[in-house]
Structures are given as structure tokens and as C-alpha cells.
Amino acid sequence: MTEPQEGIASFGQLDLGWEIQKALEKMGYLKPTPIQAMAIPAALEGRDIFGQARTGTGKTAAFAIPVLEGLTDRRPRYPKALILAPTRELATQIQDEMRKIGEFKKTRVMAVVGGR
């Protein structure tokens, strides 16, 4: 990835719909973290992203925000995105975060896990 985008001081500067903006505000997310400032604009442009950052730096939101922003209601009741996680715990954490971010878009999120 490249360096963080200069001047992204708030999520309001990103081209996000009101539903995502409202959810982020409700969650107390005021300013993108460095990984979010790098990943979100690139993903919103449709570019592939590959990022690495320490625990607690906002990686889930870095990919969840653009995924949820890009969802449409054109074909309701059909899966729109598939996110793979290596553990059931991480899958559940991603599900919970995406539900919060997608709350005002009325997005349905479901973790499907295997194993015992």
C-alpha cells in the first residue's frame, strides 16, 4: 500500500453515503486510522487493496466500510459480498463490526462457520 492520503482528517471527507456516515458517528469513529486512510479511498475507487497493520488499528472497518458502501438493493435477498476469515472468532468479530457499520443501510450480515 501507499502512504496515508494527506488531508483525510475525518470520515466526512470520504465519499460515503449518509447511512455509513451516521453509523460511524454513532460508533464514535471520528477520524480514519492510517490503515483506513490508505485503504478506503482505494477500495472506493474499485482498486484491490492489501494491507497489514497491528491489532486494534481498524483493519476490519478499512475493508468493511467500502464493501458496505458499495452494496445496492438491486437484487435483494442475494448474497452481495463474501469475506473469508481464518477463525470462527474473527468471523464473529467481523460480522459484529459489519452489522454496526451497515445498521442504517439495513444490511443483513451473517457469519457462516464450519468445524466443531
Residue 113: CB atoms within 10 A of its CB come to 12
C-alpha–C-alpha distance, residues 25 and 29, integer Å: 6
| Most confidently predicted of 3-7, 17-21, 103-107 | 17-21
Give the pLDDT score at 3: 53
Residue 16 above 60 pLDDT? Answer: yes
Q: Is 11-105 CATH 3.40.50.300?
A: yes
Report residue 38's pLDDT band, with 50, 70 and 90 as the boundaries: very high
Question: What pTM was estimated for this model as a whole?
Answer: 0.87
pLDDT, one tens digit per residue, over 42-79 is 999 999 999 999 999 999 999 999 999 998 777 777 88
Give the pLDDT score at 110: 94
Structural domain spans, the chain: 11-105
Q: Where are the alpha helices (DSSP H) in 57-110?
A: 59-70, 88-101
